[in-house]
Chain A
Amino acid sequence: MKISNITICMLLAGLLLGGCNKDYLNTVPKDRLDATKFFNTAKDLEVYTNGFYTQLPDYHLYDASYGESSDDIVPLIAPDRIKGTRIVPVASGSGDWAWSDLRTINYFLTHYQKCPDEAAKLRYGAVARFFRAFFYYDKVRKFGDVPWYNKVLSADDEDLYKARDSRQLVMDSVVADLDFAIANLPAEVKINEITKYTALALKSRVCLFEGTYRKYHGITDFEDLLKASAEASSQLMTESPYKLYTKGGAGSCYRDLFARNDQTTEETILAKDYNPDFGRHTLGYLMTSPTSGSWGMTQDLVNSYLMKDGTKFTDIAGYDKMAFYELMQNRDPRLTQSTAGPDFAVYGTTAPEPVSLNATTTGYRVIKALPGKDQWSSSSSYNDIIIFRLGEVLLNYAEAKAELGTLTQQDLNQSINLLRDRVDMPHLDLSAANAHPDSYLAAMYPHVGNTANKGVILEIRRERRVELFDEGFRWDDLMRWKEGKKLEKPMVGLYFPHLGAYDFTGDGKADVYVYSGDKSGAPSSVTSFIDIKQRPLTSGQSGNMNPFDYQVHFDENKDYLQPIPLEDLKLNKNLDQNPGWEQ
């Protein structure tokens, strides 16, 4: 029995050993951070705010099926908002009605006060408020009135179920956030970080948007916003070291600005950095793939580019029936730096590329921000994406001033005419523009009031569309100008007067053959075929390429704002759907 007593004792001892070790189950995470032990140092604040940067746009900003979807580019698969076929999203938080970014920001703003480092608090608090402004600007842009929250909501918070706040209230808070950011961010030139200049650029953009939106949609109190925009732009233009990028000269600097792999700080205020090691995007593929992208610039945009001498292309008789080679001659140099002209060579090379219309819907290949050919396959591009640049601020400045009615020739000279200088284009003349408002543009933007500045407003819009092509502005511009009906105008491509062979490059040899069903007889030099049975022209055997064979309906009472998801309306009875989207 002695033996068994011993073993029983051992057994019991073992049990007690295990049982007494109360901490056995109190495991502490080894690789994660407990929030209660954070927000104490400047480094903590910096590391937390680092997480905000992914809230900024990525390459989709330049993607004609996402951020850039507008009347400028016809991609192979046109997005719903262009076609007017948006539907009310169902799932809670879908259709841009997502709020997790705000929670991330407000969580910071709730906790960072405990850090004893006052300077760090101001600085990173400013970063957080920049991002909150960015967040709410986006929401207001898309939905109009939205609920304003400056705290982290708990699951039992009644404010989860509150009604929307007015866009005026929200925008006041956005401007307050931006002013805080401008006041407390360092005046530094940092291309991938938020600085005072980024905040100024955002304020310039936000206030112009909201100011013009209110003006054209009949909402009061727009003047202060336009003034604030012009002031922010002016401050940036005068106080910051940014200059337009002119390296390489008028013939290539504009294309190079976007197509080069790495952004530099001459003009670019904030860019998303891509590189082969850590992050590539797929823009090159989307622009060129015959099956996924094959974007094409629309004819009315091509028409909007001025002649090299500053005259209007649309004033030339027969401009609308001009063949490719001819219409590409003597234009604003930005045209052939944005779309493939007769001498098109792939970025980084000099040998002209054979004409290929397989990779474009309209006949006008998009080449702005298109990097070298090694970056054309899926997910292989790594040219940086510009999010803020001085060029936009100059345009914002001129437009805000013009809309306020306070624009001077001097204002033009320090803004738009700098952009013109870069590409060796003649200056925009205030009085000349106002003396003869362009009829082509006037028809395009019927809501521009018959004020003294009508002519220059139209020219500023031309400049904006040309300069900021494919940078994600066009949709918002149409919305704030209340020109949604512009989308109903035909989005067509290149004009072909007849079937047969065409020389696109001016070398006397045919490059393109347009036929109906039977392509025999095509010259051997042809590199691109178009069967009008499959890729129709607007008037049968002649006319513009018509890839977007679709009659858009833009509902003035509905389509300026996006719908809120059905589930969210069900979950919060105080939330109303935007007008026209109720079912």
Chain B
Amino acid sequence: MQFKLYLCSPSSRAVLKKCMRIMKLTAILSLVFAVCSYGSTNAQKISLQLKNSSLKTLFQSIENQSGYHFFYADEDLRHGAPLNIEVHNMELNDVLRTCFKGQPFKYSIVAKTIMVRYDPEDDATAAETAIKTDTTVRGVIKDEQGEPLNGVSIILKGGHEGTTSNNDGSFKINVPSLSDTLEISFVGYQSVTLPIDNRTLHAVSLTAKPSSLEELVIVGYGTQKKENLTTAVSQITAKELDTRPLPNVVSALQGQLPGLNIQTSTGDPGKTPEINVRGFNSINGGGPLILIDGIVGDIDRVNPADIETVTVLKDAASSAIYGARGAFGVVLITTKKGKAGSLAVNYTNNFSETTPTTRTDFISDPYVYGKTVDAALTGYNGTTYTGYNDQDWEIIKKVADGEIDPYYEEQPDGTYKFYGNTNWYDYLFRKWQPGQMHNLSLSGGSEKLHGYLSGRYYKTTSIQNIVDAPLTKYNLKASLTFKANKWLEISDDIQYNNSDQKEYGGYRNGWGGIWSTTTWYNLFPFYPSEINGVPFDFSGGGAQGALEQGNNWKKYFEEQFINTIAAKVTPLKGMELNFNYSNKINHVSNTTRMNTFDIIVGDRLQAENVGVNRLTEDRGRGDYRAMNIFGTYNRDIKDHHFKLMLGYNQENYVSDNITAEQGGLLFDELANLNLGTELLRADGSATVWAVQGYFGRFNYDYKNKYLLEVNARYDGSSRFPSESRWGMFPSVSTGWYVSRERFWQPLKNAISNFKLRGSYGKLGNQNVDLYTFSEIMGLGQSSWLVNGQKINYAGVPAPLPSAVSWEKTKTLDVGVDLGFLQNKITASFDWYEKRTDGMYLPGEPLPAVFGASEPQENIAGLRNRGFELNIGYHDQFSVAGSPLHFNASVSLYNFKGVITKYPNPNGIMSNFWEGQELGQIWGYHIDGQFQSDEEAKAFQDQFENPTKDLGQVYKFIINTAQNKEWKGLKAGDIHYVDLDGDGSIDKGDYTLEDHGDIRPIGNAMPKLPFGFTLSADWKNFDFYMAGTGVVHQDWYPTGDIFWGTYERPYLSFIRKDLITNAWTPENPERTYPQIYRGYTSLGANRSLGEVNDYYLLNVGYLRVKNLTLGYTLPEKLTSRWQIKKLRIYFSGENILTWRFGDLTKYIDPEQAGSAISYNDPSGAVSRARLEDYPIGKTYSVGINLTL
């Protein structure tokens, strides 16, 4: 924070004046000197021999010998007298003193610049005149090492005049008055306000901002200077997070920190994206430990505006302090605390509109739709859904074209036919979902007592169009710090937050949400949505009726209360003792209210009252308590710096849940168990666990050059039996600050910073089920009913494992931190290898007669290697006379997991096997599409028994299809290849030895995920952009949205670009089989359902996650209203997306790619069906106000 302005302070100036008078009294010379400081640097020896030389000559000689530079105004030198001098091996200071003796100059040394200024001193009148006439101010700007800084912005405060410094750091600016003030700023350095103070020459030294090196990084139970880090840690200060229109902070972290994977699989604002650090960690899955202000927390509950920093501890050395739970990485979040000072009030708001990122213009033309689905079903079984004849279709076409109005008509047999025109997607789903957010915070107080108070209100609306279904969140935080005396500080932090989400749905037999079959199927555009004001549902599922009536709903309410009391004691210099104790209470209250409702169904327009009258209440309470005691002691002995931290931690968790269900409620409108007449269910569950640990960290460095850190934790967990309960998790890391070595100095201009790091450590994973070591009998309610009631049963206990203990993860991490061009460009690179051993898995396969899963043992192994690269660039330019500050960063990373040990001696591919690359996709090879029925038939006929030999890939076409015309391969069907030439297309034994015709065709894991940010400000404008993406990721399509009628002909929403890409004789180079091939993608053994390389897609993408443009109103204007700062901004989320592959615009690449879970390798090749809440893009505007 400190900047050094190397001008004389008032007090030293007074001293100097006195000196000068003394000197004048000596009447020898009128030399004035001023040396403010820093002398040790000018201990250079100078030798000179000059006769009658000008000052300029003198300066040159000294510059040649010393590496110091003189700075002066040429015209000033006129006032100097020629000089004669001879010195030998004299200190620079002495030389200067000698030389300036008797000259009318002041000089000062600032960071290797000797600034020489004309100072007539006594001649007051002359000085006055000079000041009036000379309004040019000159200066030189250097960094702390004395290197001139180029491009520094110098602006006259309150005016528009400005300039930037030259190559040699010098600048010149015309000012209206020498009593003005200059503002000096440069990217990466602390800005300086410089009063001109009647002087026309200035030397300024800028101090680098701590962001580059001095910045404090949060680490486990403490902080560490970034320059002293030896471990793999990434941190952001969450400045950009608070104005983004997001329900939680997780999405905002996406792409910001290398190695931190954030996966968004749904656009539901009530859901939290999945967080993972560095990819696969264990077959048993598990995510990172997330600590908010030191206690285990839920990241989605934090008010984004309260966040101060987000830190990710990635390697074993940084997370070893969390022992048994740090194996999957640790995310540390710190929140804002109050600062002493006058009251600061901040208010931010945001008003947003969200719309899907994907196309949603599904086929709604009733004629096109009807013809398409009828074709698809006919190809299957020769029937149609509609039973409509050609005349009917003629009418529907006219309705579609708007020639006649939609209608329906009774037929002679009493049934009806429908000639409607309904856009069901638009009926069910909103195009735009509004949302808003308000955040208010107050901070201030005295040194003795200061606090922070904040609150947020967030509200958004569901995409469902018929009933308003809001999500609201409240956050409240209060923090108070009380400095009792010199050595004791006590603080308390209270947080309350809640989330309240309502969802509407309904189905004739119970619950059906808007993403379920109740809406995805059977909504045909030629059916009307209502008849005489009553919702019409031909197939009778009834979703519309339930939505229109709005009496079938689910409510998810969660609230959380956290209190942390902490004490900090500083008994000795260098010693700090901390104690904190937290209570966290989670309360969950979910309600499902189902109700009866009216619909008209079927071709006879039958009025029905359907649905069930039922209420389900879930209540859960979780109580988490954590205590931490830790102390730190710092000691420096000369250049040896020591730091020791020791501590103790204990945490326990108890939860209790009850569920009750009543039927036959007496009032439709109300939802209380008291109104029920039929008790359907009363149930409960509870969990309990505890952990305990002792930990310590020792840091040592020598001259900040050689760094060493040792961490260890001794951890115990209730999940393990007492004999294997405790584990020791040590780690070590070292660093070498190469750029601080003397030999590096010549390279310093190019590579300003160079640090090598390495770490190695062992961590545990306690992420195994509770109670695995005792014979626990499951209790439950059977689906077998006795006289209409469920019966309770006790289940057989699982076989006991032979031993249960920690999974162990060893991580090696090597890294390098680099800075170029005065750290304008920074780079950081890490390579790591994680080896997880003793993964707790079912043991050696046993014959099925064993009758249970194999007892679990700590047996399997996994290796995960990867790298992370982060490059930052910050600079500033002058644009139209004003500085443009500019920051950019790019991160790129990758990881690859391989199974190193797994008990699978027969190489059965339905299980893991040794050497298996996680995420690898195995599939068939396709040689295009058959271009004629003859070609297709010839292919089929070359197999001896097509039913059997082709049954694994064409089962549907050859065996199942009921329409004789379409039974068997035809033109447009895809051509599977018998790669192994064994006369059948199959997976063989599905073992590594014999996998038939499948082979690896891709990898479902993202290859090279990346992120970038770009921020800039110019004058009162600011700009911020953050993006993320994946270079390559393979996805084999699944689900209704992608496959449309190929999945199910009666699908409600069929994408337009599907049917236009179906094979026809006229357009033989199409992607999909003929449109008659309904059901061919529905599951295994079907030609489009089996994974193959023809439809494998790259879902890689680049997405601008956020783009913010802000404008701060001029202070002159706002200060009139007592406003310190008023900024208005526009913010866009997900506003631009580029697909690297050919993925249809109806599917979001991020959503498709997030089907696989990094936290669960067993799902590494699973595929999303994507009938889910689409990811949204959001446009918003808002203000930031500071009082």
Contact = CB atoms under 8 A, between A and B. Distances in A.
Given A31-B685, A192-B784, A26 B718 contact: yes
Contact of B787 (A192, A291, A575): A192
Contacts of B965: 533-534
A9 B848 CA distance: 60
A33 B571 contact: no
B690 A24 contact: yes
B378 interface: yes
Nearest to B389: A519
A277 B652 contact: no
A25 B381 contact: no
B627 interface: yes
B629 A85 contact: no
Contacts of A379: 509
A578 interface: no
A246 interface: no
A26 B722 contact: yes
Interface string B955-976: 0000110111111000000000
Decide if the interface of chain B is mainly helix, strand, loop or mixed.
mixed
Interface string B572-592: 100101010000000000000
Most buried by A among B384, B629, B802: B629
A260 to B, nearest CB: 14
B947 interface: yes
B797 interface: yes
B413 A7 contact: no
B517 to A, nearest CB: 7
Interface in B1060-1086: 1079
A107 B796 contact: yes
A291 B794 contact: no
Given A104-B796, A160-B849, A277 B784 contact: no
B793 to A, nearest CB: 4
B427 interface: no
A550 B686 CA distance: 56
Contacts of B791: 50, 53
Given A50-B792, A161-B847, A33 B776 contact: yes
A103 interface: yes
A567 B908 contact: yes
A294 B381 CA distance: 10
A155 B842 CA distance: 11
B341 interface: no
Interface in B761-795: 770-771, 774-779, 782-795
Nearest to B948: A85
Given A155-B850, A535-B382, A547-B962, 13 more contacts: A27-B718, A56-B784, A104-B796, A107-B797, A273-B784, A273-B785, A379-B509, A527-B387, A533-B382, A534-B378, A549-B964, A550-B959, A571-B846
A116 B344 CA distance: 75
A24 to B, nearest CB: 6
Interface string A93-131: 100011111111011100000000000000000000000
Interface string A561-583: 00001111011100100000000
A494 to B, nearest CB: 15
A90 B799 contact: no
A461 interface: no
A536 B963 CA distance: 8
Contacts of B487: 3-4
A350 interface: no
A490 interface: no
Interface of B: 377-378, 380-385, 387, 389-390, 412-413, 415, 487, 508-509, 517, 539-541, 569, 571-572, 575, 577, 579, 608, 610, 612, 614, 627, 629, 631, 648, 650, 652, 654, 656, 663, 678, 680, 684-692, 694, 716-718, 722, 725, 770-771, 774-779, 782-797, 799, 802, 843, 845-852, 854-855, 906, 908, 910, 947-948, 951, 959-960, 962-967, 989-990, 1048-1050, 1079
A278 B382 contact: no
Contact of B648 (A15, A155, A568): A15
Contacts of A91: 908, 910
A77 interface: yes
Given A18-B650, A50-B792, A11 B571 contact: no
A354 B415 CA distance: 9
Contacts of A14: 579, 627, 629, 648
Contacts of B569: 3-4, 7
Given A4-B571, A27-B689, A294-B381, A155 B854 contact: yes
Given A32-B777, A277-B612, A536-B964, A290 B383 contact: yes
A155 B843 contact: yes
A572 B847 contact: yes
Looking at chain A's contact residues, is the secondary structure mostly helix, strand, loop, or mixed? Answer: loop
A306 to B, nearest CB: 31
A33 B777 contact: yes
B794 A51 contact: yes
A575 B847 CA distance: 10
18 contacts: A4-B569, A4-B572, A25-B718, A38-B777, A47-B794, A92-B847, A98-B848, A99-B850, A100-B852, A153-B849, A191-B787, A192-B786, A377-B508, A378-B517, A528-B387, A534-B378, A534-B382, A568-B848
Given A18-B627, A18-B692, A34-B776, A291 B685 contact: no
A19 interface: yes
A220 interface: no
A103 B850 contact: yes
B845 to A, nearest CB: 6
Nearest to A564: B848
A101 B843 CA distance: 21
Contact of B577 (A11, A154, A533): A11
A29 interface: yes
A529 B387 contact: yes
A393 B387 CA distance: 45
A24 B692 contact: yes
B663 to A, nearest CB: 6
**Most chain A CB atoms below 10 A, which of B384, B680, B794, B845:** B794
B902 to A, nearest CB: 15
A531 B787 contact: no
Interface in A226-282: 272-280
Nearest to B779: A33
Given A291-B377, A534-B382, A570-B906, A277 B793 contact: no
Interface in A116-169: 147, 149, 152-155, 160-161
A48 to B, nearest CB: 5
Nearest to A546: B964
A394 interface: no
